[in-house]
Amino acid sequence: MNKNLQEQIIRSSGVNVLKCMRCGKCSGTCPSYGEMEYHPHQFVYMVERGEIEPLLKSESLYKCLTCFACVERCPRNVEPAKVVEAVRLAAVRQQGNNHLTPAQIPDMLDDDLPQQAIVTAFRKYTK
């Protein structure tokens, strides 16, 4: 249980995870469900329990499309996507963790990828 990280995520997401009534509609509606290790309702529940580390390490963070279907459908306005985004930000903010090195870039390039996206991604995922 990581209290600091939990508080940071709750604060930066602006989400009151205690509002969740565990109906699972977010996960019922999620288009990326199959690709996620942790599902939207689990994000909310795990943040509530302070289990942040497994989330930070999980690929699920980057599988969320931020389509906001869960936000739209949540009967109690919990806004799971904002929790996912907050965890993602927490991962990005972790000092010294470069999620991308310049050497990795050439492999990722393809013709359809806009230049700007590469630059943005690089900025976002490196320190």
Partner 1 sequence: MQRIGVFVCHCGTNIAATVDVKAVAEALGHEPGVVISQDYQYMCSESGQNLVKNSIKEHNLTGVVVCSCSPRMHENTFRKAAAAAGLNSYMVEIANIREQCSWIHKDIATATEKAIILGKAAVAKVHLNAPLTAGESPVVKRALVIGGGIAGIQTALDIAEAGFDVDIVEKNPTIGGKMAQIDKTFPTLDCAACILTPKMVEASQNEKIHIHSFSEVADVKGFVGNFTVKIKKKARFVDETKCTGCGLCTEKCPMKKVPNEFNMGLDNRTAIYIPFAQAVPKVATIDPNYCMMLKNGKCGVCSKVCSVGAIDYKQEDRIIEEKYGAIIVATGFNPIKLDKYDEFAYNQCADVVTSLELERLMNAAGPNGGTLLRPSDKTHPHTIVFVQCVGSRCDDSKGKPYCSKICCMYTAKHAMLIREKYPDTEVYVFYIDVRTPGKNFDEFYRRAVEQYNVHYIKGMVGKVTPKSDGKIDVQASDLLANEQLHINADMVVLAAAIEPDKTARPLATMLTTQMDTNDFFTEAHPKLRPVESATAGIFLSGACQGPKDIPETVAQASAAAAKAIGLLCKNSITCNPCVAHSNELMCNGCSSCEKVCPYGAITYVDKEFRMPDRTTAIRRVASVNPAVCQGCGACTVACPSGAMDLNGFSNSQIMAEVDAICK
Q: Taking CB under 8 A as the rule, which mask of x and - marks residues 75-104 in contact with partner 1?
A: xxx---------------------------
Q: Compare residues 36 and 87 and give the one whose CB is closer to partner 1.
A: 36
Q: Compare residues 5 and 83 and give the one whose CB is closer to partner 1.
A: 83
Spatial separation of the C-alpha atoms in residues 19 and 27, rounded to whole Å? 16
Choose, by CB under 8 A, the member of 2, 10, 12, 24 that binds partner 1.
24
Size of the site for partner 1 (CB under 8 A): 22
How far is residue 36 CA from its own chain's centroid?
A: 11
Spatial separation of the C-alpha atoms in residues 11 and 5, rounded to whole Å? 10
At residue 75, the 3 state secondary structure works out as coil
